[in-house]
Chains A and B, each alone.
Chain A
Amino acid sequence: MHYMILNYTPPSEYADADAVAAAAEGVVWGAYTRALIEAGVLVGGNALHPSHTATTLRVRGEGRDIQDGPYAASKEQFGGYYIIDVPDLDTALHWAALNPAASSGAVEVRPVVMRGSA
C-alpha cells in the first residue's frame, strides 16, 4: 500500500531554493530520508522550490488563466513529499510523525490509488 506524505512547512523555514537544498541534505531531513530508505519503505519523493515560485493555471472556456502563486493559500507551504510503501495507515502515521514538518508545520497522509491491483 502506497501513501503520499505531504510536508507542509512554515514559509520562514526554507525561504529559497538554496535553503531547501541545504535542508534536504541537512541533518534533520537527511536523517529522516535515510531512515525511510533503511527501513525499506521509501518509494520516492521530492523537495520543491518555495511556494512563491509556483504558478497556478486554470483553463476556462477558450482562455488560460494563469496566476502567480500556489493554488491554496495557507500559512504553511507545501514543500515536498515522500511516497512510502507500508502495510496500513497506522504504519504510515508512524512515519509521518517522524517527519520534521510534523513538529514545525503539518504533515498530510494520503493513500495512493493503486492501479492494476486490489
Chain B
Amino acid sequence: MSATDEIERVARLSHGRLVAILASRTGNVTAAMDALSDAVDRELEVWPVQGVPARPEGWLIATARHRAADAGRTAARAAAAAEALTLMEEERMDMGHAATPDRILNLMFVCAHPAIEARMRTPLMLQLVLGLDARRMAGAFLIAPGTLGQRLTRARAKIEAARIGFALPDGDELAPRLANVLDAVYAAFTVGIDGEGAGDAKSTSLAREALWLGSLIAAQMPEASEAQALFALMLYTQARRPARVDGSGCLIPLDEQDTSLWDARMMADADLALRLAAGAPTLGRYQIEAAIAAAHADRRHGHPTNWGAIAGLYRGLAALHPTTGALTGLAAALGEAGDPAAGLTVFDAADATHAAAYQPWWAVRAHLSALAGASGQAIACYDRAIALCPDPAARAFLERKKANLRSSCLADLPRDFSSTSD
C-alpha cells in the first residue's frame, strides 16, 4: 500500500474518532474537521518521502493539533499554544489506550441530539463521523448541495455555541437519545438502499457506511437491545441484496427469492445480533422489524414463510408506530396469509394523506385488490404505484404484474369484447 493510500485509509477509518478527540473539549467540530483535513494534506507531503509512521493515527492527530494551534495563534498566541501542548499530551495518552471507539459513539450522540434539526442528524453524522462531503450526500437526501452545506454549517455552529455536551446521556435520558441515534443511522441505510435501487452509484456505499456505524454501536452497547436489533435488521436486508433482481432486471419479491443467493455469513451475523437483543428485550420498533426480517430469513432453512406470524409482528409494529410503512406491511402480510379483504380493510381505515406519495402502499393495495377480484381497482392502483416508483427493477415488476392482470381479465371476457377493447 502506498503512503497516499495509507493516509486516505487512516483518515477515512478514523475520521470520526479524530474529530471527536479534537472537538470534545472545545465543541468546535468545524475547526476539528478543518484541522484534520489540513493534517491529511500535510502528511500527504511528508509520508511518501519519509515513510508511514508506526502509529499513523497518532501522527495525524498530533499534526492536526499543531495546525489548530497555528490557526489559533493569531487570536490568542500564548494561551492557545500552552493549551495545545497540554491537549497534545493528553491525546498521546489517549491514543496509547487505543480504547477510543467510544469517542465516536459520543460524537454520534452529539449529531443526533434533539437540539439538532431532525432532518440534519443523518447528514451531520455522515459528515462528522465518516467524513462524507455535503456535495456527495446532497443528491441522496434530495437537498440542493448549497442548502445542505449551509444547514450543516449551522448545525456544527450550534454544537459549539449551545455547547452540546460530548458525554453520553445517563439514566432515563439514554434510551430516547439512543433511539435518535439509531433512527439517524437507519435513515442513512434506507437512503443508501433506495438510491442504490434507483441506480445512484453514490448511494451504494451509503448503506455499507450505515452498516458500519450500526456495527460500531452494537459493539459498544451490547446491552442495548434496540441497537443490536437495528444492526440485525440492516444485516438481513443487506444479505438479501444479491437475490433482489432477476436476469432481466425485474425485482423478485422477498418470498420468491432464491435463498441460496443470500449472503449466508451476513445472515448468521444478523441471527447472532438478534439473539443478543432477545437476551433483554425491550419494546422497540427495531426489535419488531428485525424479527420480521428474521421470519423471512427462516425460509433459507427450508421453512415456508409464516405469514400469520409476520402479520402478528406487523400488528405490534403498527400499534407501537402507526406509520404508513407499518400499515402497508400489515396489509400485505394479511393478504399473503390468505385474507386480502382484511388487508384492504387496513388501508380503508388508515389516514391516506401520508400514503399519497408512498409507492408500496399503492403496490400492495393493487395486489390485494387483484386477489380480492377487484381487477379495475387493482389496475388503477398499479398505475399509481408505477408513477411513484423511482427504482427500475421494482417498476419492471409492477408493470409485469399489471400486464398479467390485464391479460387474465381479457381472457375472462367474451371474445368479441376483448378484441375491440385493445
- A and B are partners in one complex rather than unrelated chains: yes
Q: Residues of A with Cβ closer than 8 Å to B?
A: 1, 87-91, 93, 109-111
Cα-based distance from A1 to B163 in the complex (angstroms): 8
Chain B binding site: helix, strand, loop or mixed by DSSP? loop
CB of B162 within 8 A of CB of A111, answer yes
Q: With both chains docked as a complex, state the minimum distance between the C-beta of B31 and any C-beta of chain A, in angstroms.
A: 12
**A residues within 8 A CB of B164?**
88-90
**B residues within 8 A CB of A111?**
161-163
CB of B165 within 8 A of CB of A87, answer yes
Given A87-B163, A88-B164, 15 other A-B residues pairs in contact with their CB atoms under 8 A: A87-B165, A88-B163, A88-B167, A89-B163, A89-B164, A90-B164, A90-B165, A90-B167, A90-B169, A90-B173, A91-B165, A110-B162, A111-B161, A111-B162, A111-B163
Q: With both chains docked as a complex, state the minimum distance between the C-beta of A84 and any C-beta of chain B, in angstroms.
A: 13
**B residues within 8 A CB of A88?**
163-165, 167
**B residues within 8 A CB of A109?**
162
Q: Residues of B with Cβ closer than 8 Å to A?
A: 113, 115, 161-165, 167, 169, 173
Closest residue on chain B to residue A1 by CB atoms: B163
**B residues within 8 A CB of A93?**
115
Q: With both chains docked as a complex, state the minimum distance between the C-beta of A2 and any C-beta of chain B, in angstroms.
A: 10
**A residues within 8 A CB of B115?**
89, 93
Cα-based distance from A109 to B164 in the complex (angstroms): 12
Listed A/B pairs (8) with beta-carbon separation below 8 Å: A87-B165, A88-B163, A88-B167, A89-B164, A90-B165, A90-B173, A111-B162, A111-B163
Chain A binding site: helix, strand, loop or mixed by DSSP? mixed
Closest residue on chain B to residue A94 by CB atoms: B173
Q: With both chains docked as a complex, state the minimum distance between the C-beta of A4 and any C-beta of chain B, in angstroms.
A: 11
Closest residue on chain B to residue A113 by CB atoms: B161
Q: With both chains docked as a complex, state the minimum distance between the C-beta of A106 and any C-beta of chain B, in angstroms.
A: 15
**A residues within 8 A CB of B162?**
89, 109-111
Cα-based distance from A90 to B167 in the complex (angstroms): 10
Q: With both chains docked as a complex, state the minimum distance between the C-beta of B74 and any C-beta of chain A, in angstroms.
A: 16
Cα-based distance from A42 to B167 in the complex (angstroms): 23
**B residues within 8 A CB of A110?**
162
Q: With both chains docked as a complex, state the minimum distance between the C-beta of A80 and any C-beta of chain B, in angstroms.
A: 21
**A residues within 8 A CB of B161?**
111
Closest residue on chain A to residue B169 by CB atoms: A90
**A residues within 8 A CB of B173?**
90
Closest residue on chain B to residue A3 by CB atoms: B162
Q: With both chains docked as a complex, state the minimum distance between the C-beta of B201 and any C-beta of chain A, in angstroms.
A: 39
Cα-based distance from A37 to B165 in the complex (angstroms): 23
Cα-based distance from A111 to B163 in the complex (angstroms): 8
**A residues within 8 A CB of B169?**
90
Closest residue on chain B to residue A87 by CB atoms: B165
Name, among B162, B164, B167, the residue most crowded by chain A CB atoms within 10 Å (CB to CB): B162
Cα-based distance from A74 to B340 in the complex (angstroms): 49
**B residues within 8 A CB of A89?**
113, 115, 162-165
Closest residue on chain A to residue B28 by CB atoms: A118
Closest residue on chain A to residue B26 by CB atoms: A118
Return the 7 tightest CB-CB contacts between A and B, nearest first. A88-B165, A89-B162, A88-B163, A111-B162, A89-B164, A90-B165, A1-B163
Cα-based distance from A91 to B173 in the complex (angstroms): 12
Cα-based distance from A93 to B169 in the complex (angstroms): 12
**A residues within 8 A CB of B165?**
87-91
Closest residue on chain A to residue B177 by CB atoms: A90
Cα-based distance from A89 to B173 in the complex (angstroms): 14
Q: With both chains docked as a complex, state the minimum distance between the C-beta of B168 and any C-beta of chain A, in angstroms.
A: 10
Q: With both chains docked as a complex, state the minimum distance between the C-beta of A43 and any C-beta of chain B, in angstroms.
A: 15
Closest residue on chain B to residue A111 by CB atoms: B162
**A residues within 8 A CB of B163?**
1, 87-89, 111
Closest residue on chain A to residue B173 by CB atoms: A90
